A and B are shown apart, each in its own frame.
Chain A
Amino acid sequence: MSHSVLPQLKPKDFASDQEVRWCPGCGDYAILKAIQKTLSELEVPRENSVFISGIGCSSRFPYYMATYGFHTIHGRAPAVATGTKLANPDLDVWVITGDGDGLSIGGNHLVHALRRNIDLNIILFNNEIYGLTKGQVSPTSKRGTLSPTTPRGSVANPISPATMALGVGARFVARSVDINQAHLVEVLKQAHANAGTSFVEIFQNCIVFNDATFADFTDKAVAKENQLLVEDGKPLLFGAERDRGLRLDPATWTLEVVRPGENGVRSEDVLVHDETNRTVATMLAGLEPPEFPMALGVLYRDPAATFDQQVLAQVEPESEGRGLADLLYGGRTWKVGD
């Protein structure tokens, strides 16, 4: 596209004139930068992109974009975005949410957007904590999290967002990390390219209330060892030397970490990633360090007809047919007078 006569928008052309008000060092800055870069590289017109968010730190996101933006109410962004998409399916609609917004107060809307497969890109910033309300546990907080509402440690089990999305029938589920800029941009492009609900969970560090909660797979020192970057059609290998892989244990139907070439493990024993395999995707979504690597990338993608296309297909074809007058006069009528 370098020969295009249209001026190509740069990432900064997608930045609004508003001062960004996240805490210094917040992972949100990196995500903002990645999304601006993504839109620039996708060469989408600014007026066609709409960012719709709920409430929370992540949901301030639309104010910082030079596109259309709607900062709505807590948890309801998928519902608002559904209406927007039904009104105008040609818009590129992005939903920005967080672990509290999307999985706690708005869990219901997220579930139904995913199972309907409406054409939205839902980007969930997961920092495992409530930031804007000053540090309470969230639905993704690890057990034992100390917070103002759990001074003796939280006792509830966390939700795995990707596992939940797969469980309710999402057709596109991907994961990335705020600071993995190149990976994140690629995942976002894949999400944008997918027609239907694209669910992207981004591990995002909250430097103030939950710093380093993902350090066991995001710290530079361990990232290579503990991140499994999945790619469709490629073996599920990881580690700095790519010397470890995932194999399906046929006795337990679970994944296990193996080293090809050791203990009789052959390289063909390592699973090859098939992004249309929901069962394996669900297993990958559930893996956690230290026993396993954290699986990142497009865990699952199997496109299907979108909700908006199907709903609007029922509306359009008959448009030339009946008018309102036909309805009014169409029932049983009678005449009074001449």
Chain B
Amino acid sequence: MTDQHSKTKTNGAGGPAMREVRDSVVVRFAGDSGDGMQLAGTQFTMENALAGSDLATFPDYPAEIRAPAGTTYGVSSFQIHFGAVDVKTAGDELDVLVALNPAALKVNLRDLRIGGTVVADSGSFTARNLAKAEYEGSPLEDDTLAPYQVIQLDIGQLTRNAVEHLGLSSRDALRSRNMWALGLLLWMFDRDKQATVDWLRAKFKGVESAADAAVATLSAGHAFGETVEMPTKIPGYTVSRAELKPGLYRTVSGSDALAWGLVSGLKSSGISRMVFASYPITPASPLLHLLARMKELGVVTFQAEDEIAAACAAIGASYAGSLGVTSSSGPGIALKTEAIGLAVATELPLVIVNSQRGGPSTGLPTKTEQGDLFQAVYGRNSDAPVAVIAPATPADCFHVAREAVRLATRYMTPVFILTDAYLASAAEPWLIPDLTTLDDYPVEMRRDPDGFQPYTRDGSTLARPWAVPGTPGLEHRIGGIERDSATGNISYDPDNHHEMTRLRAQKIAGIAADIPEQSVELGPEEGPLAVVGWGSTYGSLFKAVERSRAKGMDVSHIHLRHLSPFPRNLGDLLGRFERVLVPELNAGQLLAMLRSTYLIPAEGLNRVAGRPFRISDIEATIVRLLETERTA
């Protein structure tokens, strides 16, 4: 059976007894957007996590829900980097590429390292599919794949064989190709499949025939690696456990962590209700979906009629004493801009989550970018300062969300969270925090009518009182027209406007005293070169600096969480480095802010390709800068 449907060009690395040991491996599952690649990848992630690997994932999918089958623009993929080492990125290059059709091979082959392994479903390399992928001849037959190890199997036929006894239609059977491939990959890396079996049983509860088919296919793929005879030998690898801090772990995506962090922040603030008002937009919608299922935790979600209404409803909720949160991606944030200005003027708490994507305009809806930093910091009419913070990793989203709630309620201000398409869907293992050890930051609403004025300010934070409708004796009016600096009544007085503009700026600037000083992630606190980043580029930057340092280069990594205001020591810290390199997935926005704020000749490394940085690109720049330094 197997000989009929498979052939291989690899010399076979041996069975379980001869598994090759690897520190870490990068695998990418790729197929049509309807082939279930995200599902296969997610389950592969789970099994690796349970086996004790550290890991990072990178789901990548087209903007179209079901792009025409077999086309290059309809390819969906899921990348996972797992290993015994400290894994911080999804990996620069692939060790294994699973390609379920020619288009998936065409799009993804460029990322496979020389000598890497391709697992190709030869049954899908038909003339029609080859034409759709714009291959002139079959890459399985010519020398396209010469630099790689190739395992070509008719996965479609093998899947059909696996479910033959269940009497499924050929079409239904083929839906499980992803499970067959997953089973094979689990065998290759010596991983269990039980968690996936359990998951499939739970998912298809009540539809036992579907569960049976999926489990049978998964098992067949797994067994294939074990039992297949030469010359089809499948290489097997061992990736040992990572040295993770002891404790209870789970995998977490940025969206999960953000949702939980917002709820945790709500608890810490003591506010009874969060009103999360949003409008569907890629890649921000998962946050709305997740929170819609957390109603018993004090969360009211509201799918508004548009982005503007979402921001306004969140503001209206904060006005009435709830925690108002709104979420979107760049184009939607643009629509919310005027409302955010209202929250600045009326000094109400508001958390704004921006899951950044490629732009401008509709741009690249499913691809990652850091293009909205200027929009968050500066993007309103007039002088309208707000706080801006950014998570570095999926798990960090939890803490950043908590920090956003703290700042918004303590300073009565809008706070931006700048996450992105990568963080939203990427996952990593997470040491589940002990919720009882988190610092609370209880909010005090104004209750006492004695001496109440809506715009008198707290001496240390400069925040105005949060005086909520329903409170007797505090009836007052607020609005977008400039307000008297004490009474809040309409004031067109020139000096009052100047003073209020100054106070709004000073209030936000004062947050710098209430956040940690900027630390150095890696390397010394002075030297010839600092690599300074923010947001989701954390892993790539850290690894690039780590590798460079391992090669003897004197370079440090600084990663900013707080982007407005900057940490109070940032200027001093950057001043201690001869050169400052600012890699960003935009055309140089933090770069411009650092240059204008601290008058330092920082240099940019900018890439806007809709994808995370490659570690190697940053490393190469570090080398170039340090060598220029030496020769200069």
Interface of A with B (CB < 8 Å)? Answer: 16, 18, 45-48, 50, 52, 55, 62-63, 65-74, 76, 79-88, 90-91, 108-109, 111-112, 311-312, 314-315, 318-325, 327-329, 331-338
Q: Are A83 and B320 in contact (CB under 8 A)?
A: yes
Contacts of B302 in A (CB 8 A): 82-83, 86, 311
B502 sits at the interface (CB 8 A): no
A80 vs B480: C-alpha distance when bound (angstroms): 13
Nearest chain B residue, comparing its CB with the CB of A18: B489
User: Given the complex of chains A and B, what is the CA–CA distance between A325 and B263 in angstroms?
Assistant: 11
Contact with A along B312-346 (1 / 0, CB 8 A): 11111111111010000000000000110110001
24 residue pairs from A and B, CB less than 8 Å apart: A45-B472, A48-B469, A50-B320, A63-B479, A69-B479, A76-B339, A79-B305, A83-B320, A83-B324, A84-B316, A88-B321, A109-B308, A109-B312, A311-B300, A315-B298, A318-B295, A322-B296, A324-B297, A331-B250, A332-B50, A333-B250, A334-B52, A336-B244, A336-B431
Q: Taking A335-B249, A337-B246 as contacts, is the C-beta distance between A83 and B312 under 8 angstroms?
A: yes
Knowing A76-B308, A83-B314 touch, does A70 contact B432 (C-beta < 8 A)? no
- Cα A79 to Cα B309 with chains together (Å): 5
Q: How far is the CA of A86 from the CA of B324 in the complex (A)?
A: 10
Main secondary structure of the interface of A (DSSP, over half): mixed
Q: Are A108 and B321 in contact (CB under 8 A)?
A: no
Given A86-B300, A334-B248; 16 other pairs, CB 8 A cutoff: A63-B479, A67-B475, A73-B312, A73-B338, A76-B339, A79-B310, A80-B316, A84-B469, A108-B305, A319-B296, A325-B435, A328-B260, A331-B251, A332-B49, A334-B52, A337-B247
Q: Kindly identify which residue among A70, A333, A335 contacts B319, using a CB–CB cutoff of 8 Å.
A: A70
Establish whether residues B273 and A87, one from each chain, have CB atoms under 8 Å apart when the complex forms: yes
Q: How far is the CA of A90 from the CA of B432 in the complex (A)?
A: 38
Q: Using a CB-CB cutoff of 8 Å, which residues 254-303 of chain B contact chain A?
A: 260, 263-264, 267, 273, 275, 277, 294-300, 302
A84 to B318 Cα, complex, angstroms: 8
B477 CB–A CB distance under 8 Å: yes
Q: Does B512 contact A (CB under 8 A)?
A: no
From the candidates A47, A66, A79, A87, name the one contacting B321 in the complex (CB within 8 A).
Answer: A87
- Shortest beta-carbon contacts, A-B, top 8: A337-B246, A71-B479, A83-B316, A83-B313, A79-B312, A318-B296, A87-B320, A87-B322
B476 at the interface (CB under 8 A from A): yes
B474 touches A84 (CB 8 A): no
Residue of A nearest to B341 (CB): A73
Q: How far is the CA of A184 from the CA of B275 in the complex (A)?
A: 35
Specify the chain B residue showing the minimal Cβ separation from A324.
Answer: B263
- Min CB distance B402 to A, Å, is 11
- Among A55, A62, A79, max chain B CB count under 10 A is at A79
Assess whether A72 is in contact with B489, with CB atoms less than 8 Å apart.
no
Given the interface contacts A47-B470, A70-B478, A72-B480, does A336 sit within 8 Å of B249 by beta carbon? yes
- Min CB distance A233 to B, Å, is 36
In the bound assembly, the distance between CA atoms of A331 and B293 in angstroms comes to 14
Smallest beta-carbon distance A282→chain B, Å: 23
Contact B260 A87 (CB under 8 A): no
Query: Is the CB–CB distance between B246 and A47 below 8 Å?
Result: no
Whether the Cβ atoms of B267 and A324 lie closer than 8 Å is yes
- Closest approach, in angstroms, between the C-beta of B303 and any C-beta of chain A? 10
* B-side contacts of A328, CB under 8 Å: 250, 260, 432-433, 435
Query: Which chain B positions have C-beta within 8 A of A66?
Result: 475
Within 8 Å CB of B310, what residues of A?
79
Closest to B481 in A: A71
Of residues 1 to 55 in B, which have CB atoms within 8 Å of A's CB atoms? 46, 49-50, 52
Q: Which of B299, B300, B309 makes the CB contact (< 8 A) with A108?
A: B309
A69/B478 in contact, CB under 8 A: yes
- B304 interface residue per 8 A CB criterion: yes
A87 touches B298 (CB 8 A): no
- Knowing A312-B300, A322-B296, A332-B46 are in contact, say whether A90-B470 is a contact too (CB < 8 A): yes
